[in-house]
């Protein structure tokens, strides 16, 4: 099977190599920030006379081939002064450029139209990029700058509501997002059950969210890719920056190991230990912390190495009865190597794990669970000609899943120790993607990914009669667990189930005129891991489980079409996209399935399907004192789990039902206004259709308590969600030449104090016996203040 893949790759390469021999010279190099020597991602390198250009990759590298001659070159990047130079080509050149951050002057440099035209030309669609500076200007709850919350302001992105983990892209579930931090997979993106995200904004350089037309480089999740890169650290000078907020404080230290060549960066963030203590009369501890560290070293012009790490934990302790710790750990080694000025490569070796631990003193046990993985990636970017770029590579991930073990916490405990069976899997993929400029008007991107998933041997795999772990009781019309007729144990080197999937990816851009283009894309993706969660939003306790005998991999097919246009020299831009996607083998759970400490998950799941479609509009004002965007999404997201044969009911009687992330209308407006050098104001407004929920349609009495009887799944909705947030940033001395620079950020979250329902819960009041509907509204109006500094 591997040799088959190789032959595809080689023949693919051969086809393109034929088109190579030409009298052209290559200009390549790295573009960095002049101050910190930090590499810059996505810098435009333009040759206006030739109507051609390129941009830097994730490691700041660029490469472009040009015919002999003398040309004007322009280098531009958001927030930096444009650099113009005239270059004569008679040989291959390597030139590294340093860009100077544009001073906070009011005469903003107008970016010329050539640059944006390149963007509308590029076949990549359904992608949103946010610079960390934009993210920092968005008002946020309690003053905590939050990457995940910021992306929910983009079209097609929502989350399950305040205090819920993760985010949902185009009607997909939270576990269908591939979240990469410096190429490492992050399994849980939230602190404190979703109130904050795990990414320290100070340590982040660039984020990119792919919602569709996802390049073949990425795989393993079906909904989206959130690709986050950390800063490398300043290799010129030693610097510190940080912030003091009402929830947490941050500190980042960076500096050279060897000037211009090597740098380090260490960033820490911690919330205050008794975060919720003022709110409740409780003896509690609830806090989170995270630590980012990175070493970068440029060995020579062709080789750079990076060692980066992330460690984050949440800790809860309530009255010593309950102690809970969870978080991610990532260690990552990368090596950039230039095989030639046209062939860039990056090799990554990554270890990451997610740990969840619980200590319940009052019951008397400890609980540990987690997932560990070793990830190897080798990615190539091949700048064959200006019209044809290739990306290809391979990826191998070895997983170890610990679904949980229980240990009695002391000798008097009545709990027996118990271990849920570990699971092991091996995921491999190879991919190739071509970006091909066919004509002045037409650009294509096409490629594929071949992924395979091997479920490796484990102990005590249950065996069922007719391989059916879930029976349907025809008389009572309910699903019931089947009793295993035995169990099998396999050596780890055995493959107990294997999957192989071919994932084609295709997109095109057709330029209608100087200002507008249409784009279309198709992508198929496979997801081999499932997050076992039958709740609206994932919890930290939810367990990832690999595909195998009973859970098939999720398969996505998505098509999208879009119209892109700029106005007034790119002062304004408009993006309109429509998408349709369907997912096969989406796991669903039988009513009342208990997923916690369940060693036989196959007894409570059924394979269903999901679909989503919608229209997204993004209108931006890109420059000037007043900047911002308006995003509108009209969409539908549904799920269906029919019975496996005609006698079975399936889930929700086999009918399609709204997923918890279905939002018919979703509007967000984000704006910032720069009054003068001292004051900048920001605001955002959100308006969303309420989340689908299941309400009672009656009650009955059983064993002395009132029981609600529920309607069909998700057929009602919470009230409409809307709120307005404001922020103001005050820089007391913008023209100061002192080393120390400080700024104040004032914020008001939920300005008009709307009690947006996070949930409505039905139950019987214990004291009065009355049935009640209880609304949970998490954040009312919340003012905040943060002080940020750097020196």
Partner 1 sequence: MKKYLYIIVVLLMYSCEDVIDVDLNTIEPKLVVDASLNWFKNTTGNDQEIKLTLTAPYFDNEIPPATGAQVTVSNTGDDLFVFTEESNTGIYKNNTFVPQINETYNLEIIYQSEIYNATETLKSVVDIDFVEQNDEGGFSGDETELKAFYTDPADEENYYFFEFLNDIPEVPSLEIYDDQFTNGNQIFGFFTEEELETGDLVTIRNYGVSERFYEFMFILLQQNSTDGGGPFQTQPATVRGNCINTSNPDNFPLGYFRVSEATELIYTVQ
CB of 128 to partner 1, least distance (A): 25
> Closest by alpha carbon to 757, among 780, 737, 738, 787?
780
Does residue 767 belong to the site contacting partner 1 (CB under 8 A)? yes
Please report how close the Cβ of residue 544 comes to partner 1 at its closest, in angstroms: 16
Pairing of strands 679-688, 721-730: antiparallel
Count of residues near partner 1 by CB under 8 A:
95
Residues 705, 733, 744, 753: which binds partner 1 (CB under 8 A)? 705
**Beta strands of 361-465 (E only): which ranges?**
365-385, 388-408, 418-419, 423-437, 442-456, 461-463
431: left (phi over 0), alpha (psi -120 to 50) or beta: beta
**12, 25, 59, 193: residue in contact with partner 1 (rule CB under 8 A):** 193
Window 376 to 435, contacts with partner 1 (CB under 8 A): 406, 414-416, 418
Show contacts with partner 1 in window 679-698 (CB under 8 A): 694-698
Contact by Cβ (8 Å): 73, 51: no
Residue carrying structure tokens 């007894």: 603
Q: From 218, 208, 149, 119, select the one nearest 575 (Cα to Cα).
A: 119
What is the rounded distance in angstroms from the CA atom of residue 727 to the CA atom of residue 746? 5
Q: What is the bridge-based pairing of β-strands 196-197 and 97-99?
A: unpaired
- Spatial separation of the C-alpha atoms in residues 449 and 431, rounded to whole Å: 4
Burial of 502 (0-12, 13-18, 19+ CB in 10 A): exposed
Give the x/- contact pattern for partner 1 in 525-564, rule: CB under 8 A: ---------xxxx-x-x-----------------------
CA-to-CA distance for 211 and 224, rounded, in angstroms? 5
Q: Candidates 199-207, 276-284, 452-460, 557-565: pick the segment binding partner 1 (CB under 8 A).
A: 276-284
Choose between 386 and 409: whose C-beta lies nearer to partner 1: 409
Chosen residue from 421, 706, 734, 751 binding partner 1 by CB under 8 A: 706
Query: Pattern of binders to partner 1 over 171-190, x per CB under 8 A?
Result: --------------------
Q: What is the dihedral of CA 111, 45, 99, 36, to 10 degrees?
A: 130
- State which residue, 385 or 771, has the beta carbon closest to partner 1: 771
Question: Shortest CA distance to 298 belongs to which of 339, 267, 257?
Answer: 257
Asked whether position 283 contacts partner 1 by CB under 8 A, the answer is yes
**Residue 490 C-beta: closest distance to partner 1, Å:** 24
Closest approach of partner 1 to the CB of residue 161, in Å: 6
With respect to partner 1, which residue has the nearer C-beta, 487 or 765? Answer: 765
Taking the complex as a whole, the smallest distance from the CB of residue 588 to partner 1 amounts, in Å, to 9
How many C-alpha atoms does 120 have within 13 Å on its Cβ side?
28
- Smallest distance, partner 1 to C-beta of residue 637, A: 15
Three-class HEC string of 136-167? HHCCCHHHCCCHHHHHCCCCCEECCCCCCCCC
Cα four-point dihedral sign 138, 143, 147, 152: negative
Contact segment (CB under 8 A) with partner 1 among 50-58, 301-309, 336-344, 591-599 equals 591-599
* Cα(71)–Cα(551) distance, integer angstroms: 58
Structural contact between residues 348 and 374, judged by C-beta atoms closer than 8 angstroms: no
Contact yes or no for 447/434 (Cβ under 8 A): yes
Binding segment (CB under 8 A) for partner 1, from list 75-83, 141-149, 576-584, 768-776: 768-776
What is each CA distance from 35 to 91, 102, 255, 479, 547, in whole angstroms? 30, 11, 12, 64, 48
Residues 147-166, interacting with partner 1 (CB under 8 A): 160-161, 163-165
3-state secondary structure 261-309: CEEEEEEEEEECCECCHHHCCCCEEEEEEEEEEEEEEEEECCEEEEEEE
CB of 275 to partner 1, least distance (A): 9
690 to 44, 438, 660: CA distances (angstroms): 41, 45, 10
CB-count burial class (<10 Å; 0-12, 13-18, 19+) for 254: buried
Q: Looking at 279, 300, 493, 647, which residue binds partner 1 (CB under 8 A)? A: 279
| Residues 332 and 348: beta-carbon distance below 8 Å | yes
322 versus 426: smaller Cβ distance to partner 1: 322
Nearer to partner 1, 433 or 725 (CB): 725
- Answer yes or no whether residue 780 interacts with partner 1 by CB under 8 A: yes
CB atoms under 10 Å from CB of 321, counted, come to 12
User: Could you give the angle at the alpha carbon of 176 between the alpha carbons of 540 and 325, nearest 5°?
Assistant: 15
Cα dihedral across residues 208, 214, 217, 222: positive or negative: positive
Q: Which of residues 52-81 bind partner 1 (CB under 8 A)?
A: none
Burial class for 11, CB neighbours closer than 10 Å (0-12, 13-18, 19+) = exposed
From residue 651 to residue 670, the character string flagging contacts with partner 1 as x (rule: CB under 8 A) and all else as - is -x------------------
Which residues 449-508 are close enough to bind partner 1 by CB under 8 A? 475-478
Using CA atoms, how far apart are residues 682 and 354, in angstroms rounded to an integer? 36
Does 597 help bind partner 1 (rule: CB under 8 A)?
A: yes
Interface with partner 1 (CB under 8 A), residue from 679, 774, 781, 791: 774
Q: Using the minimum distance from each CB to partner 1, give the nearer residue, 63 or 603.
A: 603
- CB nearer to partner 1: give 576 or 778: 778
Shortest distance in whole angstroms from residue 283 CB to partner 1: 6
Look at the alpha carbons of 537, 216, 396, 1 in this order and tell me if their dihedral is positive or negative.
Answer: positive
Q: How far is the CB of 659 from partner 1 (least distance, A)?
A: 11
Torsion sign (Cα): 717, 477, 647, 553: positive
Q: Considering the complex, state which of residue 523 and residue 539 has its C-beta at the smaller distance from partner 1.
A: 539
Binding mask 727-766 vs partner 1 (x if CB under 8 A, - otherwise)?
Answer: ----------------------------x--xxxxxxxxx
- In the bound state with partner 1, the residue whose beta carbon lies nearer, of 107 and 647, is 647
State which residue, 260 or 772, has the beta carbon closest to partner 1. 772
Taking CB under 8 A as the rule, does residue 194 contact partner 1?
yes
Q: In terms of CB distance, is 18 or 592 closer to partner 1? A: 592
Q: Report the nearest approach of partner 1 to the CB of residue 560 (Å).
A: 29
What are residue 466's DSSP bridge partners? none
Least Cβ distance, residue 315 to partner 1 (angstroms): 12
**Residue with Cβ nearer partner 1 (115 or 148):** 148
Q: Does 596 bind partner 1 (CB under 8 A)?
A: yes
CB of 270 to partner 1, least distance (A): 19
Name the segment binding partner 1 (CB under 8 A); options: 103-111, 315-323, 386-394, 737-745: 315-323
**By CB under 8 A, residue 276 contacts partner 1:** yes
**Smaller CB separation from partner 1, 558 or 641:** 641
Q: 483: which residues sit within 8 A by CB, 6+ positions away?
A: none
Of the listed pieces 182-190, 203-211, 273-281, 440-448, which binds partner 1 according to CB under 8 A? 273-281
Question: Cβ(81)–Cβ(59) under 8 Å?
Answer: no
Under the binding rule (CB under 8 A), the answer on residue 103 touching partner 1 is no
Q: Indicate the residue among 92 and 407 with the shorter CB distance to partner 1.
A: 407
Nearer to partner 1 by Cβ, of 257 and 363: the residue is 363
Pattern 334-373, partner 1, x by CB under 8 A: ------------------------x-x-xx-x-x------
């Amino acid at each position: 099977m591997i040799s088959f893949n190789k032959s595809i790759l080689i023949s693919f390469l051969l086809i393109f190599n034929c088109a190579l021999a030409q009298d052209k010279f290559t200009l390549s190099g790295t573009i960095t920030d002049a101050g910190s020597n930090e590499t810059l991602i996505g810098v435009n390198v333009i040759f206006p006379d030739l109507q051609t250009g390129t941009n830097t990759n994730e490691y700041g590298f660029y490469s472009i081939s040009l015919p002999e001659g003398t040309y004007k070159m322009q280098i531009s990047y958001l927030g930096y002064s444009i650099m113009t130079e005239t270059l004569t080509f008679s040989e291959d050149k390597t030139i590294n450029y340093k860009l100077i951050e544009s001073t906070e002057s009011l005469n903003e440099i107008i970016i010329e139209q050539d640059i944006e035209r390149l963007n509308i030309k590029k076949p990549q669609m359904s992608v949103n990029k946010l610079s960390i500076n934009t993210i920092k200007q968005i008002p946020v709850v309690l003053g905590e700058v939050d990457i995940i919350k910021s992306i929910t302001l983009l079209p097609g992105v929502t989350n399950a509501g305040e205090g819920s983990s993760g985010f949902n892209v185009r009607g997909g579930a939270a576990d269908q997002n591939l979240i990469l931090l410096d190429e490492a997979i992050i399994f849980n993106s939230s602190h404190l059950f979703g109130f904050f995200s795990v990414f320290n904004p100070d340590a982040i350089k660039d984020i990119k969210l792919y919602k569709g037309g996802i390049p073949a480089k990425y795989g393993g999740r079906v909904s989206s890719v959130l690709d986050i890169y950390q800063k490398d650290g300043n290799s010129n000078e030693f610097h510190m920056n940080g912030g003091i907020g009402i929830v947490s404080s941050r500190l980042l230290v960076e500096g050279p190991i060897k000037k211009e060549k090597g740098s380090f960066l260490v960033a820490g963030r911690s919330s205050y230990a008794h975060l919720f203590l003022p709110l409740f009369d409780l003896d509690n501890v609830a806090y989170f912390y995270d630590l980012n560290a990175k070493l970068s070293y440029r060995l020579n012009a062709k080789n750079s190495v990076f060692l980066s790490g992330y460690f984050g934990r949440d800790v809860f302790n309530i009255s010593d009865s309950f102690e809970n710790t969870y978080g991610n750990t990532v260690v990552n080694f990368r090596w950039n190597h230039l095989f030639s000025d046209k062939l860039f490569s990056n090799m990554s070796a990554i270890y990451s794990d997610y740990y969840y631990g619980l200590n319940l003193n009052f019951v008397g046990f400890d609980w540990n669970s987690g997932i560990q993985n070793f990830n190897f990636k080798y990615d190539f970017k091949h700048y064959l000609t200006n019209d044809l770029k290739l990306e290809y590579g391979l990826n191998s991930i070895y997983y170890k899943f610990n679904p949980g073990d229980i240990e009695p916490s002391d000798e008097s405990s009545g709990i027996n120790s118990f271990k849920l069976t570990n699971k092991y899997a091996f995921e491999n993929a190879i991919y190739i993607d071509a970006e091909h400029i066919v004509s002045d008007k037409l650009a294509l991107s096409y490629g594929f990914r071949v992924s395979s998933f091997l479920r490796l041997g484990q102990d005590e795999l249950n065996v069922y009669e007719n391989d059916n772990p879930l029976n349907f009781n025809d008389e009572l019309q309910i699903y019931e667990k089947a009793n295993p007729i035995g169990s099998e144990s396999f050596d780890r080197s055995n493959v107990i189930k294997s999957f192989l999937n071919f994932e084609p990816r295709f997109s095109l851009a057709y330029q209608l005129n100087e200002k507008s283009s249409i784009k279309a894309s198709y992508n198929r993706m496979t997801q081999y891991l499932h997050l076992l969660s039958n709740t609206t939003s994932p919890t930290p306790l939810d367990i990832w489980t690999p595909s195998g005998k009973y859970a098939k991999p999720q398969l996505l097919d998505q098509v999208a079409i879009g119209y892109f246009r700029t106005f007034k020299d790119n002062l304004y831009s408009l993006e309109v996209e429509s998408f349709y996607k369907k997912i096969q083998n989406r796991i669903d759970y039988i009513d009342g399935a208990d997923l916690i400490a369940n060693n036989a998950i196959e007894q409570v799941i059924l394979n269903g399907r999901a679909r989503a479609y919608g229209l997204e509009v993004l209108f931006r004002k890109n420059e000037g004192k007043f900047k911002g965007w308006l995003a509108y999404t009209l969409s539908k997201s549904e799920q269906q789990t029919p019975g496996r044969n005609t006698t079975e009911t399936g889930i929700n009687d086999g009918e399609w039902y709204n997923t918890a992330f279905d939002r018919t209308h979703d509007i967000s407006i984000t704006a910032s206004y720069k009054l003068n050098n001292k004051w900048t104001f920001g605001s955002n407004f959100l308006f969303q259709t309420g989340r689908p929920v299941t309400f009672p349609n009656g009650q009955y009495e059983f064993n002395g308590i009132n029981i609600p009887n529920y309607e069909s799944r998700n057929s009602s909705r919470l009230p409409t969600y809307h709120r307005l947030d404001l922020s103001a940033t005050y820089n007391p001395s913008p023209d100061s030449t002192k080393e120390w620079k400080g700024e104040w950020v004032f914020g008001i979250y939920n300005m008009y104090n709307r009690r947006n329902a996070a949930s409505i819960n039905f139950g019987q009041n214990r004291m009065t016996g009355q049935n009640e509907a209880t609304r949970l509204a998490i954040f009312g109006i919340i003012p905040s203040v943060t002080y940020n500094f750097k020196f």
